[in-house]
Amino acid sequence: MTLGSRRSSTVELEKEDDEAPLLFESKEGKWGGAYKLFACTIFAGICMILVYRVMKMPKRGEEGRWGWIAMLWAEVCFGVYWIFTQSLRWTLLYHIPFDHRLFQRYGENKLPGVDIFVCTADPMLEPPNMVINTVLSVMCYNYPSNKLSVYLSDDGASELTFYALLKASIFSKHWIPFCKRFNIEPRSPEAYFSQHYCTIKNTQEWSSIKKLYEDMKSEIELVVEKGKVPDEIRKQHKGFSEWNSKTTKKDHQSIVQIIIDGRDSNGVDDDGFQLPTLVYMAREKRPNFPHHFKAGAMNALIRVSSEISNAPIILNLDCDMYSNNADTIQEVLCFFMDQRQGHQLAYVQFPQHFNNINKNDLYANSFPVSYQIEFPGMVGEGGATMFIGTGCFHRRESLSGMHFKHYNNTPKCDINPNININTQDQDHHKMMRRSVEALIEASKGVSSCGYEEGSEWGKEKGLVYGIPVEDVVTGLRISCRGWKSIYYNPKRAAFVGVAPTTLEVTLIQHKRWGEGLFLIFFSKFCPFICGYRKISLGVQMGYCAFLLWAPLSLPTIAYAVIPAIYTLWGIPLFPPVTSRWMLPFLYAPLATHVYSLLEAMRCGCSIKSWWNSQRMKLFRRTTSYLFSFMDTVKIQLGFSETKFDVTDKVASEDTMKRYEEEVVDFGSSCSVMYTIIATLALINLFGVIGGTKKVLEDDALVLQVMLCVLMVMLNKVVYEALFVRSDRGCLPSHVLVKSLVLASFACFLLPYFLC
Ligand SMILES: O=c1ccn([C@@H]2O[C@H](COP(=O)(O)OP(=O)(O)O[C@H]3O[C@H](CO)[C@@H](O)[C@H](O)[C@H]3O)[C@@H](O)[C@H]2O)c(=O)[nH]1
Ligand SMILES: [Mn+2]
């Protein structure tokens, strides 16, 4: 069976609606003109820096030539990168939906079905209780339940997760009517009960539902702790028969269970309303078949859902991202169903918000500047935005791989315009209602390892394989296939997730991102090649501002090391304070950083969180992205394969305490990364100590010493972790020894080798 042949996959409008009021409007951001002028002055500064570098380059044999060349190279890199980031700031475009018009125009019956995919990969890193909270939150959307289907993909193939989902399906019968009756938010029970005391009039009902939730939660926790579902529970559901002693995460058959069949008249909640369909899926995995991580899971979900519900709109969520607004689907449909532009739209991306960011966002895990400026900036450049893996609504056709021109050329009446989805479908189901068993059989077939062999999945169809940021590359390809996309950041966050709480986890996560993004740059999906004449130059450059994180590590390391070492050697790399050339060297970096601070504050960051983000930028570039860079090179040369380290979403109490107190937690296992961080911090400390004396003799070293002082200020937390702290999150003594040896070598012995 081919995709989309059974049910309509089209959200389209009839011609007569052409005159009707639009379902959304677009607005340009303010203060564009002033910014453009300001950016031009910075650009002039950058050019003058480069001119000075080339003019004053020491001759062959003269002192400092290599350092000078390295600085020139680093400044060229920063300059080019800065230009790329400008394309994300030139024209900001925001979209505002009019959701009240949607129901007015279509009524409930004419709205399309929505399939919701939730992915999980490991019951230890992603606790089943967290997963079902996400599932429950999306089962409660203010949207006709018979049009909602929720699919959980479990790459951990864990009976614990399955058990939790069964429990959640029972609890949902009480939870959904409770949410709708009292119109509560958010609808993830864990989030709701942790944020609210009884806010509703009927306290008895509130307490009883809270008790139900807590009982379920502790029952699940008990089973998870045991690591095994007890036999008496296993007997209660035939689904457990899929697990036997040989089932492991990496080796098992396809498991598909329709836990709630939305067509079934028994599938109703306490108030007698239909429940959404709920499906558990663990696609087949075998040791000798690559499974392609999340991209593989998503592709299996696309196919399995096409057998079961085949809704034209797909929402995709990570297991830690619960829905925080029950009206999100309506808002999104305003975009997809708008008569003027809706048909061109492939996806609507929401930002990722987190509920566990500490006061000043110590690890710079939230991206307010990206979400409030850079993403709308990319939309402003050419109607495209990045797909970032979670909190994204897709049109099924585009996600499955269809080109816009083919979609647009398909006569819409042949594949049922959305107007008829509901009524026709139900008749359709009555007529050719496949039994649950038949649906499960078909689903198992399409989620088996063999199904993808020799097929176009992962290449032309579905999410792209081979790149650990499957999301970004897939979004880019969709844009290159002629589709538009919208970025939407509503006032009330639509989705809320969990951010890493230790430095180590953040650095590892960024290593994966950096590597994946850089791999895109080298693949056939490089925006300048794949996007040539398909997406605007601004969007191509905007993508590169992200794709080039990894190589930017090299100039950053050069800038963090060379000035400090050359200070100790007494060799100047910058113009003296008395020279007029000093001006661009002061202006360009100062203006960019002051601007970046203002921009962050405009997005609601505190000064301290901006400062933290600058430190994290340094840490990430000198460690995560350096490893991303090296691994990408290895992969390109064929020495290594891509992998996906799942982000740990649980933290010990000790760690949480430090996180809340905003004390950097270095953890224990990333010692190579920490050695680099500590070595750079020490080199700059030596630079300041040795340089202060020299500055008094030679004013040519002033800028260099200022740079070292800035680096030392950024690295304050590192010195504390090395010399002062003694808790479990500090830096171990072997890191101190190694970094001292390395830093001393670079500062004091290297000159003897080089001379
Ligand atoms: O083999 C795998 C690995 C991961 N996942 C799921 O993918 C999601 C994202 O994984 P996570 O470890 O949380 O990574 P993050 O870095 O937090 O994820 C961001 O970056 C990823 C790409 O690197 C995107 O896939 C995600 O959607 C995006 O939120 C989670 O729900 C996982 O359960 C799978 O289903 N199968
Ligand atoms: Mn995550």
Q: What share of the chain is helix, strand, coil (3-state, %, to 5)?
A: 55, 10, 35
pLDDT in tens, 360-371: 999 999 999 999
Rounded CA-CA distance 516/477 in Å is: 15
- Pick from 496, 549, 492: nearest CA to 520: 549
pLDDT in tens, 530-565: 999 999 999 999 999 999 999 999 999 999 999 999
- The DSSP symbol for 278 reads E
Span from the CA of 391 to the centroid of ligand 1 (angstroms)? 12
The rounded mean pLDDT for the chain is 92
Q: Is 126 known as a binding-site position?
A: yes
Spatial contact of 354 and 499, defined as CB atoms under 8 Å apart: yes
Query: Backbone dihedral region of 651: left (phi > 0), alpha (psi from -120 to 50 degrees) or beta?
Result: beta
pLDDT on residue 432:
53
Question: pTM value?
Answer: 0.94
pLDDT on residue 754:
63
Rounded CA-CA distance 710/732 in Å is: 25
Distance between terminal CA atoms of the chain? 72
pLDDT in tens, 30-60: 766 788 899 999 999 999 999 999 999 999 9
What domains does the chain contain, in order, with CATH numbers? 97-352+388-499 (3.90.550.10), 554-754 (no CATH)
Query: Backbone dihedral region of 458: left (phi > 0), alpha (psi from -120 to 50 degrees) or beta?
Result: left
Residue in the structure block whose two tokens are 């897939």: 474
CA atoms within 13 A on the CB side of 230: 9
Residue nearest to atom 23 of ligand 1 (CA): 469
Helix (H/G/I), strand (E/B), else coil: 311: coil
Calculate the CA 194 to chain-centre distance: 25
Pocket lining: 318 vs ligand 1, CB cutoff 6 Å: yes
Pocket lining: 121 vs ligand 1, CB cutoff 6 Å: yes
Q: Is 699 known as a binding-site position?
A: no
Dihedral, CA of residue 342, residue 346, residue 350 and residue 352, to nearest 10: 180
Provide CB contacts within 8 A for 494, sequence distance 6+: 323, 324, 325, 328, 331, 350, 391, 488
Provide CB contacts within 8 A for 363, sequence distance 6+: 499, 500, 501, 502, 503, 506, 612, 616
Pocket lining: 615 vs ligand 1, CB cutoff 6 Å: no
- Cα Rg of the chain, angstroms: 28
CB atoms within 10 A of CB 360: 16
Please identify every residue whose CB atom is under 5 Å from ligand 2, which is an ion: 318, 647
**Which stretches of 229-357 are DSSP H helices?**
231-234, 293-308, 328-336
Stated as kind and residue range, the H or E segment containing 686 is helix 671-697
Q: Is the pLDDT of residue 428 over 60?
A: no
From residue 450, alpha-carbon distances to 26, 119, 368, 723 in Å are 45, 21, 43, 56
pLDDT on residue 426:
43
Ligand 1 atom with minimal separation from the 297 CA: 35
Span from the CA of 153 to the centroid of ligand 1 (angstroms)? 12
Rounded CA-CA distance 649/501 in Å is: 8
pLDDT in tens, 359-406: 999 999 999 999 999 999 999 999 999 999 999 999 999 999 999 999
Q: Is the pLDDT of residue 5 over 90?
A: no
Q: Is 318 known as a binding-site position?
A: yes
Strand partners, 260: 278
Q: Is the pLDDT of residue 188 over 90?
A: yes
pLDDT on residue 266:
83
Give yes or no: 264 in active site. no
Ligand 1 atom with minimal separation from the 291 CA: 1
Pocket lining: 133 vs ligand 1, CB cutoff 6 Å: no
Calculate the CA 244 to chain-centre distance: 35
Pocket lining: 126 vs ligand 1, CB cutoff 6 Å: yes
Task: Say how many residues make up the chain.
Answer: 755
Task: Characterize 438-452 residue by residue with b for buried, 16 or more Cβ atoms within 10 angstroms of its Cβ, and e for exposed.
Answer: ebbebbbbbbbbebb
Rounded CA-CA distance 255/266 in Å is: 23
pLDDT on residue 693:
87
Exposed / middle / buried, residue 466 (Cβ in 10 Å: 0-12, 13-18, 19+): middle
What's the average model confidence in pLDDT over 576-584? Answer: 94
Residue in the structure block whose two tokens are 């601004």: 538
Spatial contact of 501 and 656, defined as CB atoms under 8 Å apart: yes
- ipTM entry: 0.99
Rounded CA-CA distance 48/75 in Å is: 11
Q: Is 167 known as a binding-site position?
A: no
**Residue in 318, 511, 643 to alter for ligand 1 test, most ligand atoms within 8 A of Cβ:** 318
Strand partners, 24: 97
The catalytically annotated residue of 320, 471, 648, 665 is 471
The catalytically annotated residue of 99, 115, 155, 425 is 155
- The DSSP symbol for 235 reads T
In this structure, the strands spanning 313-318 and 392-395 are antiparallel
Pocket lining: 504 vs ligand 1, CB cutoff 6 Å: no
Rounded CA-CA distance 112/5 in Å is: 16
- Pick from 511, 625, 628, 632: nearest CA to 557: 625
What's the average model confidence in pLDDT over 664-690? Answer: 91
Pocket lining: 389 vs ligand 1, CB cutoff 6 Å: yes
From residue 628, alpha-carbon distances to 9, 389, 439, 510, 621 in Å are 39, 19, 42, 8, 10
Span from the CA of 79 to the centroid of ligand 2 (angstroms)? 32
Ligand 1 atom with minimal separation from the 352 CA: 29
Provide CB contacts within 8 A for 613, sequence distance 6+: 361, 364, 600, 605
Q: How confident is the model at residue 16 (pLDDT cuts 50, 70, 90)?
A: very low
Give yes or no: 155 in active site. yes
Pocket lining: 297 vs ligand 1, CB cutoff 6 Å: yes
